């Protein structure tokens, strides 16, 4: 059956379900969503059950929108909104989208916009024809979020065409005859940490999960395998989270002809855009050739379809995707796939943390169905036990007291996303409660902007932190102890200042970035400290120093080498990692509901993958495998 015929049949079913007295002006496909336009949008709003019935009977996502011709002029609508909504809402922006009929009202107190029982919104919908939605103004403005939203508005015609193309591909006819199968090919990140990439295949579809680079060597996934050709046959890319070893080479796909969708959470979209653009600047500064440019990142943004946790979506004719919280960084996801209408269900944990952290709730363990699980093993070795967050905090406090009491400086290499914000919270509490004397804490690299993105998505933070920020009006990220390093002159001034300070700087594995400038200046002073709080990959400079090397060689601009003697104190604070340790990984398996019949172990060094796989089998009697890169495994 052709796509046109199939969609025509779907339209007939929709019109059969919707009451005859409701005026439908058009039915369109937009990515994974079926969009219904109506002049009676207010009546649809009053009868929310219609959308539920459509979704239940037809197993599709639906969005009801007002007919664009029925929408009142945006200037008049803005005037009405500002007149009707109480001043205590503190509106900071209004954004109109004629394609969707949505006006997004950004305010410091969005609850005041809704009104008692949603009365304000209901009245505004009736009087303007627009669908009024509210979002909270982020406490720290984010340039990245503003740029992404602005670019999507500017490119809305191109975006609409892309979404229609994606929708037609999702709703294409499938091959019914022949044997069903589900298999996965490991293209990177197996028996190693870095360049995570997996190809998930059925008889009708190909889904790429993650597309990262190796941070210690810049190696790419194995894109040259036969299953990846042609690249246009890939139905979708699913990104579990925004760290560069999971999304760092995503723009390259568009450079080489991929034109399909990317599925991730909204914060993942914004964070990976930030980090990818920053990587271009870093490579330019180090006289390296970047594998992609800003135009490839913009193309990526146009193709992203953001999904909330626990909202199931068709992403291919026989594939449904649901994201669950992974507890690793902001917006990190466990990607669950329902394949071939329930023929097989597999979840990819990505990087996961099964412990409540200062930022996030622990990783989700409950799924409707689960036959196979692909799990990380970064700290899956038999002796990989980390202290609790509380013990780690106390150890950090003790070392910071010792390091700074004699005028020393502390350099903490961090990833811009995740570890930075947790370390900020811990240091802020130490200084606020008097455990540590107040002193400047400098944030260098992308840390400040990444923190701004965190405050824009409070629904992804744990409940205590949300309450502290938005109800008690005590945002620890806005503490005056934090100083943003915005210029090279300011960085140089900090490097040569005689006063004690703490510096959080990227990159977290010391593979480049501003952290190297502080390291070069402070490395020969035994009063200074280098504090590691995150994973250091094999062959990275961070791992080399962590293992006790007292002499290191840096490659400078122009290829010249600089030899440095490491006299500063080097310490590692375990317990800040966003990865589950061995005990947490095993506990995670025990809590899974339902428990899978097959587990694939990856994202760990060779021996750790094998060790974790063996232990899972011995304890739980679940079939396990720790594949090498380029292996193909039949899941069913």
> Which tens digits make up the pLDDT trace of 19-70?
888 889 999 888 999 999 888 887 776 776 888 888 888 888 888 888 888 7
Average pLDDT over residues 533-552: 89
For the record, the structure tokens of 179 come out as: 């044997």
Residue 1 has pLDDT above 60, yes or no: no
Between vectors from CA 160 to CA 155 and to CA 162, what angle results, nearest 5°? 95
Residue 605 has pLDDT above 90, yes or no: yes
End-to-end CA distance of the chain: 27
Give 293-350 as a DSSP string: -HHHHHHHHHHEEE--BT--EEEETTEEEEEEE-SSSTT-EEEEEEETTTTEEEEE--
Average pLDDT over residues 61-89: 85
614, 177 contact by CB (below 8 A) = no
Q: Read off the pLDDT band of 434 (50, 70, 90).
A: very high
Average pLDDT over residues 343-365: 96
Q: Kindly list the distances between the CA atom of residue 562 and the CA atoms of 218, 552, 554, in Å, as whole numbers in the listed order.
A: 21, 8, 5
Distance separating alpha carbons of residues 127 and 532, to the nearest angstrom: 57
Residue 138 has pLDDT above 70, yes or no: yes
Q: What was the pLDDT predicted at 174?
A: 82
> Considering the chain, what is the average pLDDT of its residues?
91
CA 475 to chain centre: 22
Distance separating alpha carbons of residues 391 and 384, to the nearest angstrom: 16
Q: What was the pLDDT predicted at 74?
A: 84
**Dihedral in degrees, nearest 10, Cα atoms 506, 511, 512, 517:** 80
Q: Read off the pLDDT band of 338 (50, 70, 90).
A: very high
Q: Domains of the chain: which residue ranges?
A: 3-69, 75-137, 147-169+181-383+579-634, 389-572
Q: Spelled out in words, what is the top-level CATH class assigned to the domain 3-69?
A: alpha beta
Least confident of 437-446, 476-485, 556-565: 556-565
Q: Is the Cα torsion angle 307, 309, 315, 317 positive or negative in sign?
A: negative
Q: Read off the pLDDT band of 472 (50, 70, 90).
A: low
Domains 75-137 and 147-169+181-383+579-634 share a fold: no
The verdict on domain 389-572 having CATH code 2.60.120.330 is no
Give 457 or 613, the one with higher predicted confidence. Answer: 613
CATH code matching the domain that covers 75-137, chosen among 3.10.20.30, 3.30.300.20, 3.30.43.10, 3.50.50.60: 3.30.300.20
Average pLDDT over residues 184-203: 96
> Which tens digits make up the pLDDT trace of 578-591?
999 999 999 999 99
Distance separating alpha carbons of residues 613 and 512, to the nearest angstrom: 34
Q: Read off the pLDDT band of 330 (50, 70, 90).
A: very high
Q: Read off the pLDDT band of 471 (50, 70, 90).
A: low
Percent of the chain with pLDDT over 90: 62
Distance separating alpha carbons of residues 615 and 333, to the nearest angstrom: 25
Q: What was the pLDDT predicted at 43?
A: 78
Beta strands 561-565 and 551-555: pairing type? antiparallel
Q: What was the pLDDT predicted at 586?
A: 98
What does the buried/exposed string (b/e) look like for 248-278 if buried means 16 or more CB atoms within 10 Å of the residue's CB? bbbbbbbeeebebbbbbbbbbbbbbbbbbbb
Least confident of 107-116, 421-430, 547-556: 107-116
Q: Read off the pLDDT band of 353 (50, 70, 90).
A: very high
Q: Is 6 exposed, middle or buried (0-12, 13-18, 19+ CB in 10 A)?
A: middle
Partners of residue 323 on adjacent β-strands: 309, 335
Distance separating alpha carbons of residues 148 and 274, to the nearest angstrom: 10
Q: Read off the pLDDT band of 133 (50, 70, 90).
A: confident
Give 80 or 246, the one with higher predicted confidence. Answer: 246
Q: What was the pLDDT predicted at 117?
A: 61
Average pLDDT over residues 92-101: 81
- Residue 89 backbone dihedrals phi, psi, to 5 degrees: -65, -30
378, 193 contact by CB (below 8 A) = yes
Which CATH superfamily groups domain 147-169+181-383+579-634? Ribonuclease Z/Hydroxyacylglutathione hydrolase-like (3.60.15.10)
Residue 558 has pLDDT above 70, yes or no: no
Residue 411 has pLDDT above 60, yes or no: yes
Residues 6+ apart with CB under 8 A from 440: 481, 483, 499, 501, 502
Q: Kindly list the distances between the CA atom of residue 319 and the CA atoms of 16, 23, 237, in Å, as whole numbers in the listed order.
A: 26, 32, 12
Q: What was the pLDDT predicted at 115?
A: 67
Between vectors from CA 627 to CA 211 and to CA 544, what angle results, nearest 5°? 70
Distance separating alpha carbons of residues 267 and 405, to the nearest angstrom: 39
Average pLDDT over residues 107-112: 83
For the record, the structure tokens of 579 come out as: 């990865």
């Amino acid at each position: 059956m052709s796509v046109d015929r199939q969609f025509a049949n779907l339209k007939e079913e929709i019109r059969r379900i919707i009451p005859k007295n409701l005026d439908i002006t058009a039915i369109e496909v937009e990515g994974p969503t079926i969009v219904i336009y109506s002049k009676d949008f207010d009546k649809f709003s009053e009868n929310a059950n219609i959308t539920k019935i459509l979704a239940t009977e037809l197993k599709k996502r639906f969005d009801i929108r007002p007919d664009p011709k029925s929408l009142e002029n945006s200037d008049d609508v803005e005037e009405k909104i500002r007149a009707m909504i109480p001043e205590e809402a503190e509106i900071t922006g209004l954004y109109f989208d004629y394609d969707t009929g949505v006006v997004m009202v950004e305010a410091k107190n969005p609850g005041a916009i809704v009104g008692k029982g949603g009365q304000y919104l209901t009245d505004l919908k009736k009087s303007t024809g627009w669908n009024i939605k509210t979002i909270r103004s982020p406490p720290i403005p984010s340039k990245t979020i503003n740029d992404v939203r602005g670019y999507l508005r500017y490119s809305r015609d191109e975006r609409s065409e892309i979404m229609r193309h994606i929708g037609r591909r999702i709703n294409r006819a499938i091959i019914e005859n022949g044997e069903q199968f589900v298999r996965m090919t490991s293209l990177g990140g197996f028996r190693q940490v870095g360049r995570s990439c997996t190809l998930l295949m059925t008889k009708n579809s190909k889904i790429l999960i993650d597309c990262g680079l190796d941070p210690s060597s810049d190696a790419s996934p194995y894109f040259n395998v036969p299953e990846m050709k042609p690249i246009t046959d890939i139905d979708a890319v699913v990104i579990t989270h925004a760290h560069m070893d999971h999304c760092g080479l995503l723009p390259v796909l568009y450079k080489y002809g991929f034109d399909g969708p990317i599925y991730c959470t909204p914060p993942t979209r914004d964070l990976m855009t930030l980090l990818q653009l920053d990587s271009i600047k870093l490579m330019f500064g180090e006289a390296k050739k970047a594998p992609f440019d800003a135009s490839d990142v913009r193309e990526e943004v146009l193709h992203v379809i953001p999904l909330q946790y626990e909202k199931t979506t068709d992403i291919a004719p026989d594939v449904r995707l649901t994201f669950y919280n992974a507890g690793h960084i902001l917006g990190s996801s466990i990607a669950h796939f329902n394949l071939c209408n329930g023929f097989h269900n597999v979840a990819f944990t990505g990087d996961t943390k099964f412990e409540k952290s200062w930022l996030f709730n622990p990783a989700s363990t409950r799924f409707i169905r689960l036959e196979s699980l692909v799990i990380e093993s970064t700290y899956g070795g038999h002796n990989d036990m980390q202290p609790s967050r509380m013990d780690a905090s106390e150890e950090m406090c003790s070392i910071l007291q010792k390091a700074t009491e004699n005028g020393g400086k502390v350099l903490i290499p961090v990833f811009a996303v995740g570890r930075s914000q947790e370390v900020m919270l811990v240091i802020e509490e130490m200084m606020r409660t008097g455990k540590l004397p107040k002193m400047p804490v400098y944030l260098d690299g992308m840390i400040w902007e990444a923190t701004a993105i965190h405050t824009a998505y409070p629904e992804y933070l744990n409940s205590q932190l949300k309450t502290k920020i938005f109800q008690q009006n005590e945002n620890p990220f806005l503490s005056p102890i934090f100083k943003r390093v915005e210029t090279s002159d300011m960085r140089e001034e900090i490097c040569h200042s005689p006063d004690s300070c703490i510096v959080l700087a990227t990159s977290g594995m010391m593979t480049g970035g501003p952290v190297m400038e502080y390291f070069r200046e402070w490395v020969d002073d035994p009063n200074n400290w280098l504090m590691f709080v995150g994973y250091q990959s094999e062959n990275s400079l961070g791992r080399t120093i962590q293992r006790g090397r007292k002499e290191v060689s840096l490659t400078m601009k122009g290829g010249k080498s600089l030899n440095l003697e490491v006299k500063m104190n080097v310490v590692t604070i375990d317990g800040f990692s966003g990865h589950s340790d061995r005990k947490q990984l095993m506990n995670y398996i025990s809590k899974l509901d339902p428990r899978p019949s097959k587990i694939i172990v990856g994202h760990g060094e060779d021996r750790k993958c094998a060790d974790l796989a063996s232990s899972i089998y011995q304890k739980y009697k679940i079939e396990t495998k720790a594949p090498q890169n380029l292996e193909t495994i039949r899941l069913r």
